[in-house]
Amino acid sequence: MGLVKRVAAVVVPLGLVVGGVAYGVSRHGSSDDKTLGECRTRVDGLTVVLTDEQARNASLIAAISVRRGMPAHAATIAIATALQESRLYDLRGGDRDSLGLFQQRPSQGWGTRAQVLDPVHATNAFYDALEKVPGWQSLAVTRAAQEVQRSGFPTAYAVYERDARALASALTGYSGAAFWCHLPTPTGSAPPVSRSAVDVRGSLSPAFGPVQVSVGGDGRLAVPAASRPRGWALASYLVSHASQLGVSTVAYAGREWSAGDDHGWTASSGGGSADAVLVGL
């Protein structure tokens, strides 16, 4: 099902884990570049490695919590739940009629089959249920998750709490420049920049709500950021979706990420201010 692994401030060979759990490996690209297709989150000495598909789903879960005005604790609970239930994949099957990121069951009122297989619907349904749990804001991650899921394995969510907390901190923007992906550089001719603006807006809107996307004089797209956490949340989301959107660079607050390398966010004079995330095509 892909890769989730934790590395405690050291570099280890693929397939080995220090202080964490590995769930298999998914690879993209040639054997000469084994990190291509991987995304990393590094917070407080903990590194969590995901496939690009897992990262897209984690960033969506985090973004929707931002849109709903929920604290990062909500994203931690939701990401821990999705790690346990589906390894952050949108599964087309499961136990009985369980489906999707959270293994929600249409027969239990989570929505139609098509709805629970829609990550946006599934994530909002999870948060709707979480908000009905009394005092969820102060509950332990595993307790809050169990109140929503009613799992037969109520303590299983605790295994993923540290990973989920790091991912939530990075993807909601509270830990800036803490998430990046090593993705192929886009090839071929880029579509008209106006078309790309529509595509970027269409990707961001279900996650963050209505957003403005404008075209700058340098040909890059600009997405306004009302605060640094929101800016880093937007930037992380765009990095995780870069392959689908044909994005080659993302810049914010003096830092820049580039597809094609695995250096993460580097200082850049073209990184712009904290007022907007800049997207290169």
Cα 185 from Cα 249, distance rounded (Å): 9
pLDDT (0 to 100) of residue 4: 58
Task: Count Cβ atoms below 10 Å from residue 51 Cβ, excluding itself.
Answer: 24
Token pair 């759990």 in the structure block, residue: 21
pLDDT (0 to 100) of residue 3: 54
pLDDT (0 to 100) of residue 228: 96
Interhelix angle 52-67/72-86, rounded to 10 degrees, is 150
Q: Tell me how many degrees the CA angle 127-73-229 measures, rounded to the nearest 5.
A: 100
Kind and range of the H or E element at 215? strand 214-215
Is 124 strand, coil or helix? helix
Structure tokens at 16: 């080995």
CA proximity to 192, closest of 259, 281, 279, 276: 281
pLDDT (0 to 100) of residue 7: 46
Cα 16 from Cα 14, distance rounded (Å): 5
pLDDT (0 to 100) of residue 28: 34
Please report, as a single letter, which amino acid is at residue 32: D
Kind and range of the H or E element at 39? strand 38-43
Token pair 């991650």 in the structure block, residue: 141
pLDDT (0 to 100) of residue 90: 95
pLDDT (0 to 100) of residue 160: 94
Q: Where are the domains of the chain?
A: 1-175, 184-280
pLDDT (0 to 100) of residue 229: 97
> In which order are the strands placed within the sheet that holds 179-182?
4-8, 46-51, 38-43, 179-182
- Read off the pLDDT of residues 73-88 as tens digits, 9 standing for 90 and up: 999 999 999 999 999 9
pLDDT (0 to 100) of residue 6: 52
Low-confidence ranges of the chain (pLDDT < 70): 1-33, 94
Task: Say what the pTM is.
Answer: 0.87
Cα 87 from Cα 236, distance rounded (Å): 20
Cα 164 from Cα 85, distance rounded (Å): 13
